[in-house]
Structure 1
């Protein structure tokens, strides 16, 4: 049972759809012209269309634009190079460009897109560049830009490598909530588990930023850490609840959650995740 989308989120989606409609049938030269538009979001949608179409001309353009004296063109170049189809030679050149931009560009937005795109390239290469990404992340976890640190956490989420854990713990202790949220996501998606990770998650239970708190709740429950029990009881007593929170009560295995799950059933009726969790916890209770 997902929370109702805000009017702000709906407006953002509507604008994105409008720009997508505007770009989807434009010829290549018109899309390239839009890269210089004053509206960066429209330029980004044009870049996304060019990225999807691909081809050597667009690849060369992006590689050249990465050296532009205009930071927006460098940012768009980094974005395009993230997921466009490349041959081996093009990929080698593009990865070097992205690495250099991520470390050295004066613009935070360029560094941010470069880190994200480097992560996408590593994801496509299936761990081939894992060591290079880890080397890059050693520096970008300390970047002064919040978005660079956010995208570092994203990049570390794209493949499982336990060498990422110390870097993700640094990001879990970041001063900014969105960075901590993405670091927690990276930890959860790769199922990392150490005592320090759990302790970081416990601290995140006090986060005002819901997304970070959500990741911590789910993460602790899946790791059967009963320090999250009372928080789960509180969250499942709200007027709006999340199916995933209901689902992880089975993972947590704490039978004290059963009265709360019965209340959820009375309020919302039965659904798959609820039925499964009640069945699991009732079975555990019968063995006590």
Structure 2
């Protein structure tokens, strides 16, 4: 790609606001292009006085070179640069982008700097921490942070942390299960659903009453919530959804399978 074309792509990443589709298309094009020139320009932007340029640099470096059959081309170098940025970064948008980027890279050296932001007053930053820690969910060092964020005041932060620990992650322990069980009565439905799915994945019987009740709702007969079906299939050890089943079919199968593990009033 010509230098002029690269320059145009870099400038397009700054168009409109941070979530602009066109800007993200340019970010993805630069990630896909990769190479030392793209890496070098992004590294220079990390030192920019403009927060958006620092944020875009982090967005690019977090997944540079990544694509079908292609891994991150310079994970160690990118990780070191992003850690250096975060040690002094004050702007929430730039810091959030760097945290997400470190999550994508998954270098455990980043965990201490990720944890530095876990109590930040900005929910956007705490959500970025939840995402980053979720990328390390197979490492138990991420679990204390995820468990803390599962009770965050922001529902989206709770949602991502609960999804990460319960569904994205595979590790099982009493602490993990108890943390998920505490979210079964969360005020945000998405959090409750992630907790249900996470406990069902671990075949924890505490999820049965709530799951069966939800599967018997009228709404679950016409258009059942996918997370509920996912949970039921996990508990029933079904590799795929039985054709034609609706919520009450799953509920009936659960009652039969777990008859001795459900309180009498629920059988």
1:45 to 21, 25, 29: 25
Contact kept in structure 2, 1:156 and 1:164, CA below 8 Å = yes
Deviation at 1:156, TM superposition (A): 2.2
Contact kept in structure 2, 1:31 and 1:50, CA below 8 Å = yes
Determine the structure 2 residue equivalent to 1:171: 149
Tell me how many residue pairs correspond in the alignment: 241
Distance 1:238 1:176 in 2: 30
Structure 1 residues 274, 117: CA separation in 2 closer, same or farther (over 3 Å shift)? farther
Determine the structure 1 residue equivalent to 2:40: 60
Q: Does 1:221 align with 2:204?
A: no
Determine the structure 1 residue equivalent to 2:91: 107
TM-score, normalised to structure 2, is 0.76
Q: Does 1:242 align with 2:225?
A: yes
Contact kept in structure 1, 2:64 and 2:72, CA below 8 Å = no
Distance 2:163 2:151 in 1: 14
In the alignment, structure 1 segments of 5+ residues that lack a partner are 1-25, 123-128, 254-264
1:79-94 paired onto structure 2 within 5 Å:
79-85=59-65, 90-94=74-78
Contact kept in structure 1, 2:197 and 2:230, CA below 8 Å = no
Cα RMSD after superposing both structures: 3.3
Contact kept in structure 2, 1:218 and 1:248, CA below 8 Å = yes
Q: Does 1:139 align with 2:116?
A: yes
Residue aligned with 1:141, SS = coil
**Greater mean deviation of Cα atoms: 180-189 or 83-92:** 83-92
Contact kept in structure 2, 1:247 and 1:274, CA below 8 Å = no
Q: Does 1:270 align with 2:245?
A: yes
Residue aligned with 2:121, SS = coil
Structure 1 residues 163, 275: CA separation in 2 closer, same or farther (over 3 Å shift)? same
Contact kept in structure 2, 1:111 and 1:148, CA below 8 Å = yes
Distance 2:230 2:10 in 1: 47
Deviation at 1:252, TM superposition (A): 4.3
Q: Does 1:210 align with 2:192?
A: no
Deviation at 1:208, TM superposition (A): 3.3
Distance 2:189 2:59 in 1: 28
**Larger fraction in helix:** 1
**Greater mean deviation of Cα atoms: 57-66 or 152-161:** 152-161
In the alignment, structure 2 segments of 5+ residues that lack a partner are 237-241, 261-267
Determine the structure 1 residue equivalent to 2:172: 193
Contact kept in structure 2, 1:137 and 1:167, CA below 8 Å = no
TM-score, normalised to structure 1, is 0.71
Determine the structure 2 residue equivalent to 1:151: 128
Bigger RCO (CA 8 Å, 6+ sep): 1
